[in-house]
Structure 1
Amino acid sequence: MPRFKLVFFSPTASTQTILKHLFTKYPQHVGKIGQYEGCAFVTKGTGQFTPGDEANPAIGTRGELEFVEEHRVEVVVNDNGDNNEIKNAISELKTVHPYEEVAYDVYRLEDF
């Protein structure tokens, strides 16, 4: 079964809401490692961005550099082999996340 690591960045106040939503929506696929559920690694940092002229920022002002306390969140996504679960998880992340543009990375994991 293919596995992926989904990494995303969220404002600290939104992280647990996002994770709970993903874990509830996809309990067999997101954050499940062996017999453990709701697994995630969360680290705190500072994100920065400047919203463009046509942006509709949830935080900040167009044209002004913004610094936000954010979490880097890492979760495993177990897939059935068709990549639908990782695609569904990303789609759901985008619906529940407060940002207009969600910053995320996907890594395919290998077993050794």
Structure 2
Amino acid sequence: MTQPLDVLVFYSPVESTEDVLAAVFAAGAGAVGDYRDCAFVTRGRGRFRPTAGANPTIGSVGELALVAEDRVELVLDRHLRADVVAALRAAHPYEEPAFHVVETADPDAR
């Protein structure tokens, strides 16, 4: 029986993507069968406006920031979720990284 999987999607400034990937891979994410360090990365533009109380890594409070970012998607065994999310948060340069975790359906369920 295979482990239930999650899909992690996160957004990273382009220059930080490889460092964040290294951290989540070290925590066990990105394994597909006999392959490791698997991810799908697409380039886009992120936008955000830090509000009062924020300590932005990029941009200034009250001003709209437009940033070249990567959208990264990878799988992980569900039991690794807490460790992988902790690794993402520790390695990511943003004060509040944008990410989501999706539980996958069992492909063998009848």
TM-score, length-normalised on structure 1? Answer: 0.89
Question: Do residues 77 (structure 1) and 76 (structure 2) align?
Answer: yes
Give the aligned partner of residue 46 of structure 2.
47
In structure 2, stretches of 5+ residues that fail to align are none
**3-state SS in 2 of match to 1:21:** helix
Give the aligned partner of residue 4 of structure 1.
6
1:40 counterpart letter in structure 2: A
Question: Do residues 99 (structure 1) and 101 (structure 2) align?
Answer: no
For 1:23 and 1:50, the matched residues in 2 are separated by: 30
Give the aligned partner of residue 34 of structure 1.
33
Number of aligned residue pairs: 105
Give the aligned partner of residue 21 of structure 1.
23
How many Å apart are 1:50 and its aligned residue?
A: 0.4
**3-state SS in 2 of match to 1:56:** coil
1:32 counterpart letter in structure 2: A
How many Å apart are 1:109 and its aligned residue?
A: 1.1
Q: Structure 1 segments of 4 or more deviating over 2 A?
A: none
Deviations 1:25-51 (A, max 9, x none): x2xx31000010000000000000000
Deviations 1:82-111 (A, max 9, x none): x4x111111111011000001001111123
Of all paired residues, the percent bearing the same amino acid is 43
How many Å apart are 1:4 and its aligned residue?
A: 0.2
